[in-house]
Amino acid sequence: MANILCIGAGFVGGPTMAVIAKHCPEHRVVAVDINAAKIAAWQSDHLPIYEPGLKEIVLSARGKNLFFSTEIERHIAEADIIFVSVNTPTKTFGQGTGKAADLQYWEKTARQIVESSSSSKIVVEKSTLPVRTAEAMERILNSNEKGLFFDVVSNPEFLAEGTAVQDMQNPSRVLIGGRQTPSGQKAVQAIVDIYAHWVPRERIITTNLWSSELSKLAANAFLAQRVSSINAIANLCERTGADVTEVAHAVGTDTRIGPRFLRASVGFGGSCFKKDILNLVYLCEFYGLNEVAAYWEQVVRMNEYQQASFVSKMVTAMFNTVAGKRVAIFGAAFKAHTSDTRESPALAVCRKLLEERAHVVITDPYALESARADLHDVAEQVIFEPDPYAAARDAHAIAVATEWPQFAELDYAAIYETMVHPAFIFDGRNILDHKALYDIGFNVYAVGKPPLTHFESSNPAS
């Protein structure tokens, strides 16, 4: 039996510990956090985050071998293995501002581990970190005067929100990096043994520390680059009459490229892509690789362009003004099946529409609370409406910003009747049946497709 601790019970710490507890009944798993409200929520029936399947797993293990607590010192003292999954946001001050990772929470945790420990432990980097952070971690941990030795292992997390439980239960791979010393390799093996409870051994990749740390940033950069690449092509489709879904299919059937992660959209969001690519950019700059930095930075710039051009398309289509017009934004979450609104393109669209003085109503099945908090500075100008039918009533336009499947199943004929005409739909996720909407009477604008409008205008598809 091992005592496994996770410091940071957020989107990653909570679900990963729940899945480890489920598959390793002989181990005692504890997740701690400085946020007492979050811990109270993990202990209640209203978990702090929405993830499909998460509640069932938490309820099945909680109180048996899974615990949530705010008693950080005590649990550090008792732990054999400590996963650290605190947030590592982009720095908003000082050197590297706007790009480098803010490692203050991370460093605080390292110092706290030293302070509260009276035995040697394995410390696992779960957070996404710049390459070579483990070196700093080792220095802080091992410059103690208690004669303790800490092995630092890198085990970056690849789960995506909305599919966190599924991704943890059946991961494409688990990556574990460690020092090539006997002690380092023993520590790596201890982490391999945890995952081997449910992950086939051939999917557990072991590497050196730096490869593991860098692979996490690289994986996110490659994924985000695909979205920015297809969005770049979507813009060209809109000018030329090509249809981005057809192009994505034609390109993606080349098995070397593959069909996944080629959905054109209003842009990518989420807490990680932007922050991790900017972190990579900063690292490249640090090493004097300015052209390499510029290459990756363009992935983020393309995404900003995509969000801005979506709103600009709305304004242009709606006779060059949305001032005073009610606009319903369908979706607040950065993607479907999550309550997370961090860096959500929906909120970027909302803010830009407010700048254009539109009357914005936003609807989402799970993320309205989080949207209200993120939009606190403009919240009095926004209506938060859980019912999409009520949100669309009296609106001039609907903008689909999140790919919730339920938005595709609404009765758009009924919605059309309650809207101001001419009525517009801007499908920023290409999830609706555009031809059916056009037949109802809507003017339909999708991403990377020729618009379907009832106005007489030159249509590049024709």
Residues that bind ligand NAD (CB under 6 A): 7-13, 32-35, 38, 72, 85-88, 105, 108-109, 127-128, 157, 159, 161, 271-272
Number of residue whose CB is nearest ligand NAD: 10
Q: Which does 13 bind (CB under 5 to 8 A by kind): ligand UGA, ligand NAD, none?
A: ligand NAD
Q: Which two tokens stand for residue 431?
A: 């999830």
Under the binding rule (CB under 6 A), the answer on residue 263 touching ligand UGA is: yes
Q: Which two tokens stand for residue 389?
A: 């039918």
As a whole number of Å, the CA-based R_g of the chain is: 24
Contact 14, 85 (CB under 8 A): no
Nearer to ligand NAD, 11 or 442 (CB): 11
Under the binding rule (CB under 6 A), the answer on residue 448 touching ligand UGA is: no
Nearer to ligand NAD, 85 or 231 (CB): 85
Q: Going by C-beta distance under 8 Å and a sequence separation of 6 or more, which residues neighbour residue 277?
A: 217, 220, 221, 224, 296, 297, 299, 300
Q: How far apart are CA 184 and CA 151, in angstroms?
A: 6
Residue with tokens 């056009």, as numbered in its chain: 438
Under the binding rule (CB under 6 A), the answer on residue 440 touching ligand UGA is: no
Shortest distance (Å) from residue 201 CB to ligand NAD: 23
Q: Going by C-beta distance under 8 Å and a sequence separation of 6 or more, which residues neighbour residue 244?
A: 230, 233, 234, 237, 264, 430, 447, 448, 449
Nearer to ligand UGA, 83 or 268 (CB): 268
Nearer to ligand NAD, 5 or 234 (CB): 5
Shortest distance (Å) from residue 272 CB to ligand UGA: 3
From the candidates 24, 237, 272, 284, give the one annotated as an active-site residue: 272
Shortest distance (Å) from residue 78 CB to ligand NAD: 16
Under the binding rule (CB under 6 A), the answer on residue 159 touching ligand UGA is: yes
Contact 335, 272 (CB under 8 A): no
**How wide is the angle at C-alpha 165 spanned by C-alphas 159 and 169, nearest 5°?**
90
Closest CA to 61 of 19, 4, 1: 19
Q: How far apart are CA 138 and CA 136, in angstroms?
A: 5
Shortest distance (Å) from residue 66 CB to ligand NAD: 17
Nearer to ligand UGA, 305 or 438 (CB): 305
Contact 399, 426 (CB under 8 A): yes
Tell me which stretch binds ligand UGA (CB under 6 A): 144-152, 192-200, 220-228, 313-321.
Answer: 220-228
Q: Which does 262 bind (CB under 5 to 8 A by kind): ligand UGA, ligand NAD, none?
A: ligand UGA
CB-CB neighbours of 292 under 10 Å? 15
Q: Which two tokens stand for residue 202?
A: 């051939």
Q: Is 272 a catalytic residue?
A: yes
Just list the catalytic residues. Answer: 272
Give contact residues for ligand UGA (rule: CB under 6 A). 128, 157-161, 220, 223, 227, 261-263, 265, 268-270, 272-273, 334-335
